[in-house]
Amino acid sequence: GFDAKMTPEAGPYAGQDRYEARKNLVADLARLGLILKEEDYIVPLGHCQRCDTVVEPLISKQWFVKMMPLATPAIGAVKYDLLKIVPGRFNKVYLDWLENIHDWCISRQLWWGHRIPVWYCDNCGQMTVSREDISACPHCDSTAIHQDEDVLDTWFSSWLWPFSTLGWPEVTADLLHYYPTSVMETGYDIIFFWVARMVMAGIHFLGAVPFHTIYLHGLVRDARGEKMSKSKNNVVDPLEVMDKYGTDALRFTLATSSTPGNDMKLVEDRIVGNRNFANKIWNASRFVLMSTADIPGGVPSVYQVQPSTLADRWILSRLARLANNVTLLIEDFQLGEAGRQVNEFFWSAYCDWYVEIAKVQMQGDDEARRATAGILRAVLDQSLRLLHPFMPFVTEEVWQYLYRSSEPDQGQWPASALIIAPWPIANLQAIDEEAERQFSLVQEIITRIRDARNQVNVEPGRRVPVIMAAGDQTSMLETQAPLIEFLARTEKPQLHEQLAQKPAQSMSQLADSVEIYLPLAGMLDIGKELERLDKEIAQARQEITRLQSKLSNEAFVTKAKPEVVEKEREKLAAQEDRVTKLITRRAELAG
Ligand SMILES: [Zn+2]
Ligand SMILES: [Zn+2]
């Protein structure tokens, strides 16, 4: 019973404490000779989470909702495509549960919650269910009544959420306008508790499925993939993360690290990387705005700007593709991929390439400066709009700053704030495959030259000579020579369709079919480099001698741990390899 004592049904044990009753029962069995043997074994046993007392099952009266009549139309909603579940594999989970539904126990013995609207009469014993609170029994007029002590299960309130938030049961303007809604987003772990029940309640009370799409995200786990829990002390507090790295960094990480319905690991390095991305947006935008501050023309739309260089055509083409892809990906709920594409475009295409190239283009006449500034601003504007759902704070700040600094007439702004500005519509006319192909060759050439410089440690400021055999790309590359000079720190490139013979004492690189030659004499002082190599070779040889004598020392080889000996052998092999490479380098250089 409720007093934790045995009830009258327990016969001779009635009124006894459960532990006492058990002992007495065993003693009685023993007296009757009914015990064959005693043996310890393990059973699953529930304990109170507060005081650790063993919990006993107790039969009691509860309120239930009959579910089959509610479940049937909710099954139909998915079967007849009125409700789409993303990812689709959860259809089966949803349907299995509804097709095997149990009646729902909705009464809870808690202090907080919606109290069950049932009154009991202490006079006539009748029960009354009422929407309004009552003060007297409708059966016998007695005022000796009391309300049911229990409250409703929390999900019994939550399943009304799609319409109770809109003023239901009143027919409000909000209810008429916003019900049903479009997309519901939640964790897959509450598909039964909440999602299926909202569908049932929506159909039952309002006759319409409450949303056409349900998007299920995964659980956020810790960096090792463990479920976060207070007892494991591995809970990442989002407020602390936001204080440390910014809200945009956390939001971008959560949005881009997950795929629908799959759990994700929250890795701090990723949040750091995305904090750096937020900083990149801030710094690059500030640079663009400051370097174009004195140039009029406002923020043109991507439909207005006129590309005049290969780089202009390329960035506008890439942007058009991006806007198109991101829109399709978001419509398809591939939020992670959408975010990754905007990140990649903004960081690499815009910041690392176009903003750098703009420095060259801005050295031209007023018309060139104005055209370049227009494209810089137009692409920044569109990038910020595409990024806004992922990083709302930094993009809003930068976007308003962009318009305040370049467009004094607020009447010309597309909106007073980014959050209500129109979503970009890709300018598909700007897609230019030739420009993308040609520009990617220019990028590859610049990257190859940079790699070569790094390999031989050319001082960063030094301009190096470069000779190219470019075949049918020669005239195209002639027009891009200033970019190569600026971005790869070269002298004016010497472009040939073909070279009768390969330049001697040069490093050679291949970018697609373009041969690139970098004469070493232009990259470094050959005499000094030979001296440096000789020193390095001598040092490596010394190290080899030392390791060889150590390894031929029997005392060492027999007494040291095998893994220590193995380590020394590896070191020796590495040094021998180094000497071989240095000698080859020296031979190339000496010609
Ligand atoms: Zn307890
Ligand atoms: Zn009564």
Do 571 and 503 lie in one domain? The reply is no
Could you tell me if residue 32 is inside a domain?
yes
Do 386 and 279 lie in one domain? The reply is yes
Ligand nearest to the CA of 119: 2
Euclidean distance between CA atoms 303 and 83, whole angstroms: 38
Euclidean distance between CA atoms 1 and 6, whole angstroms: 6
Could you tell me if residue 133 is inside a domain?
no
Do 169 and 80 lie in one domain? The reply is yes
Which residue, 431, 449, 469, sits at the end of a domain?
Answer: 431
Do 355 and 206 lie in one domain? The reply is no
Residue 30's pLDDT is 93
Do 487 and 454 lie in one domain? The reply is yes
Euclidean distance between CA atoms 364 and 371, whole angstroms: 10
Residuewise pLDDT in 10s, the chain (591 residues):
888 889 999 999 999 999 999 999 999 999 999 999 999 999 999 998 889 999 988 888 999 999 999 999 999 999 999 999 999 999 999 999 999 999 999 999 998 888 999 999 999 999 999 999 999 999 999 999 999 999 999 999 999 999 999 999 999 999 999 999 999 999 999 999 999 999 999 999 999 999 999 999 988 888 888 888 887 888 889 999 999 999 999 999 999 988 888 888 888 899 999 999 999 999 999 999 999 999 988 999 999 999 999 999 999 999 999 999 999 999 999 999 999 999 999 999 999 999 999 999 999 999 999 999 999 999 999 999 999 999 999 999 999 999 999 988 888 899 999 999 999 999 999 999 999 999 999 999 999 999 988 888 888 888 999 999 999 999 999 999 999 999 999 999 999 999 988 887 788 888 888 999 988 777 777 788 788 889 999 999 999 999 999 999 988 888 888 888 999 999 999 999 989 988 887 887 776
Biggest alpha carbon–alpha carbon distance for the chain: 116
Residue 530's pLDDT is 85
Q: How far is the CA of 108 from the centre of ligand 1 (A)?
A: 17
Q: Which residues contact 366 (CB under 8 A, 6 or more apart)?
A: none
Assign 127 to helix, strand or coil: strand
Q: How far is the CA of 450 from the centre of ligand 2 (A)?
A: 92
Ligand nearest to the CA of 146: 2
Ligand nearest to the CA of 55: 1
Which residue, 471, 495, 523, sits at the end of a domain?
Answer: 523
Euclidean distance between CA atoms 90 and 73, whole angstroms: 18
Do 513 and 404 lie in one domain? The reply is no
Q: Which of 185, 193, 221 is nearest to 93 (CA)?
A: 193
Do 210 and 101 lie in one domain? The reply is yes
Q: Which residues contact 179 (CB under 8 A, 6 or more apart)?
A: 162, 163, 166, 206, 208, 210
Could you tell me if residue 238 is inside a domain?
no
Could you tell me if residue 19 is inside a domain?
yes
Q: Long-range contact list for 472-475, CB < 8 A, 24+ apart?
A: 472/497, 473/438, 473/441, 473/512, 473/513, 473/514
Do 395 and 474 lie in one domain? The reply is no
| Pairing label, strands 211-217, 84-86 | parallel
Do 400 and 487 lie in one domain? The reply is no
**DSSP-assigned beta bridge partners for residue 469:** 496, 515
Domain count, the chain: 5
CA angle 311, 314, 319 (to 5 degrees): 125
Q: How far is the CA of 138 from the centre of ligand 2 (A)?
A: 7
Ligand nearest to the CA of 122: 2
Q: How far is the CA of 57 from the centre of ligand 1 (A)?
A: 14
Can you give the CATH number for the domain in which 391 is found?
Answer: 1.10.730.10
Do 291 and 399 lie in one domain? The reply is yes
Could you tell me if residue 128 is inside a domain?
no
Q: Which uninterrupted H or E stretch holds 284?
A: helix 268-291
Residue-range definition of the domain harbouring residue 561: 526-590
Ligand nearest to the CA of 52: 1
Ligand nearest to the CA of 124: 2
Ligand nearest to the CA of 4: 1
Euclidean distance between CA atoms 442 and 466, whole angstroms: 14
Do 351 and 377 lie in one domain? The reply is yes
Q: Which residues contact 140 (CB under 8 A, 6 or more apart)?
A: 121, 123, 124, 126
Q: How far is the CA of 21 from the centre of ligand 1 (A)?
A: 21
Q: How far is the CA of 104 from the centre of ligand 1 (A)?
A: 25
Q: How far is the CA of 124 from the centre of ligand 2 (A)?
A: 4
Could you tell me if residue 344 is inside a domain?
yes
Q: How far is the CA of 146 from the centre of ligand 2 (A)?
A: 11
Residue 342's pLDDT is 97
Residue 454's pLDDT is 87
Q: How far is the CA of 113 from the centre of ligand 1 (A)?
A: 21
Q: How far is the CA of 54 from the centre of ligand 1 (A)?
A: 8
Could you tell me if residue 246 is inside a domain?
no
Residue 179's pLDDT is 96
Ligand nearest to the CA of 137: 2
Contact 462, 489 (CB under 8 A): yes
Could you tell me if residue 247 is inside a domain?
no
Euclidean distance between CA atoms 226 and 501, whole angstroms: 62
Task: Kindly report the three-state secondary structure assignment for every residue of 185-216.
Answer: EEEHHHHHHHHHHHHHHHHHHHCCCCEEEEEE
Which residue, 431, 464, 485, sits at the end of a domain?
Answer: 431
Average pLDDT over the chain, rounded to an integer: 93
Q: Which of 136, 141, 179, 148 is nearest to 60 (CA)?
A: 148
Report the Cα 29 to chain-centroid distance in Å.
64
Do 72 and 193 lie in one domain? The reply is yes
Q: Which of 320, 339, 305 is nearest to 424 (CA)?
A: 320
Q: How far is the CA of 123 from the centre of ligand 2 (A)?
A: 5
Assign 516 to helix, strand or coil: strand
Phi, psi of 386 (to 5 degrees): -70, -30
User: Token pair of 285, please?
Assistant: 């935008």
Euclidean distance between CA atoms 358 and 416, whole angstroms: 28
Q: Is 156 exposed, middle or buried (0-12, 13-18, 19+ CB in 10 A)?
A: buried
Q: How far is the CA of 133 from the centre of ligand 2 (A)?
A: 15
